[in-house]
Amino acid sequence: MISKVDSTPFKIFPSVLPGFGYTQLTGPSVVCATNFSSYLSDASTTKLSSVFFNAEKAWNKQSLINLNINLWTKNNRLNIVSDNRFYKYNIKDYGLGSYSDKDRHLDIEYDFIKLHTIVNRQVAPDIFMGFGQNLDLHSNIKIAPSNRPPLKAMDQVANLNKTISSGIELVLLMDKRVNSNQPIAGGTYLNLVLRKNFHFLGSNYLWHSIFIDYRKYIAIDKRSPKWHKPIIAVWGYGNFTYGNTPYLDMPSTMWDEFDNSGRPYIQGRFRGKKMMYFESEFRWLITKNGLIGGGLFINAQSMNNNSMKEFKRILPGFGGSLRIQTNKSSRVNYVISYGLGVHHERGLFFTLAEIF
């Protein structure tokens, strides 16, 4: 049986999951994860908008607030995307490149504010050009004593106790997905972002980056209804920084928009001035009403360090996920994943949103 969904304009479709959570980095935590989705105009001509809010208090005294916004105005004329974070955080840092040793790390504590907003304007069907601002502020940085000396690349962290990256972004976007909460077969997404940071906007280091993100959703059984087709989802991105990039702003495992890249590794496990990532996941329904589904994924990532221009080593990961639909109109899923990686690294992950 296929459930009929509600697509009334401006009606809010909520998904709220208060309770307990767990990540490898924060440990046990108290979490309130919410997603509010709505059509801001006729659903036949306007994509579904969504606002994701997550507040988390971990037992190890970490505090995290995330606010992610993806709004579509009437007839998709404008797309407003915002990624905002307020963290009191600490991480285990393993150094640069793909050969870092999991048994040797530095404990780094810091406060983090991220404010990124982009406004995209439609220039052709499903094609957009955009302009945005970005601010990444790391402050109150403290490096705990360790038997592993800090890297040369971390000199600015140790010397300044604060790094500011503030600049502008130029965007070229193609988005043929009907619903980003649960992309279906036939959807395609391509995002190219050029970022440049400036002293006059507050940056204390000059650097720039090129970010390319591609996603494709391929039907396996074309006879099934469109929302119930099993699919192969493909995701690949490259994040390349140039110049004097602050250490904590370098591309890193699980530091994408929703912290999903790199299952099964701990957030920040691998870091480099340049990063390449690929993932493919097979998704299917377990129950006919769409409430419960499953997924099998395989991924690979690679980083370079300051002394190597090329990517020397590929780091694989693989695993499975249970997908529970929390709202039949917004198609938001609660995804529980477990994965395995190199050197017996493994992890359990909880996500109130699509992985990609």
Question: Which residue in the block uniquely carries the two structure tokens 């509600």?
Answer: 6
Q: Report the pLDDT value the prediction gives residue 302, as an integer from 0 to 100.
A: 95
* C-beta of residue 347 within 8 angstroms of C-beta of residue 30: no
Which residue from 92, 128, 124 is spatially nearest to 254, judged by alpha carbons?
A: 92
HEC assignment per residue over 125-185:
CCEEEEEEEEEEEEEEEEECCCCCCCCHHHHHHHHHCEEEEEEEEEEEEEECCCCCCCCCC
Residue 159 pLDDT: 64
Are 204 and 161 within 8 A, CB to CB?
no
Q: What does the pLDDT read at residue 2?
A: 41
Give burial (CB, 10 Å; 0-12/13-18/19+) of 83: buried
Q: Looking at residue 353, what is its pLDDT?
A: 86
Q: Which pLDDT belongs to residue 103?
A: 76
Predicted pLDDT at 175: 97
- The residues that bridge with 127 in the sheet, in sequence order, are 124, 174
Would you say 277 and 301 are in contact if contact means Cβ atoms under 8 Å apart? yes
Q: Which domains does the chain have, with CATH numbers?
A: 13-352 (2.40.160.50)
The separation between the first and the last C-alpha atoms of the chain, rounded to the nearest angstrom, is: 26
Which pLDDT score is estimated for 4? 61
Instruction: Write a three-state SS string for the chain.
Output: CCCCCCCCCCCCEEEEEEEEEEECCCEEEEEEEEEEEECCCCCCCCCCEEEEEEEEEECCCCEEEEEEEEEECHHHCEEEEEEEEEEEEEEEECCEECCCCCCCCEEEEEEEEEEEEEEEEEEECCEEEEEEEEEEEEEEEEECCCCCCCCHHHHHHHHHCEEEEEEEEEEEEEECCCCCCCCCCCCEEEEEEEEEECHHHCCCCCEEEEEEEEEEEEECCCCCCHHHCCEEEEEEEEEEEEECCCHHHCCECCCCCCCCCCCCCCCCCCECCEEEEEEEEEEEECCCCCCEEEEEEEEEEEECCCCCCCCCCCEEEEEEEEEEEEECCCCEEEEEEEEEEHHHCEEEEEEECCCC
Q: What is the pLDDT of residue 1?
A: 35
Cα Rg for the chain, rounded, in angstroms? 20
Q: How confident is the model at residue 91, as a pLDDT?
A: 86
Question: Which candidate, 113, 173, 155, places its Cα nearest to that of 137?
Answer: 113
Residues 173 and 121: their CA atoms lie apart, in Å, by 9
pLDDT recorded at residue 344: 87
- Tell me the two tokens of residue 225: 């209804």
pLDDT in tens, the chain (356 residues): 344 678 899 999 999 987 776 666 666 778 899 999 999 999 999 999 999 999 998 877 789 999 999 999 999 999 999 999 999 998 888 888 888 877 778 888 999 999 999 999 999 999 999 999 999 999 999 888 765 555 655 655 666 689 999 999 999 999 999 899 999 999 999 999 999 999 999 999 999 999 999 999 999 887 777 777 899 999 999 999 999 999 999 999 999 988 999 999 988 999 999 999 999 999 999 998 889 999 999 999 999 876 556 677 899 999 999 999 999 899 999 999 999 999 888 888 888 889 99
Beta bridge partners, 271, equal: 96, 252
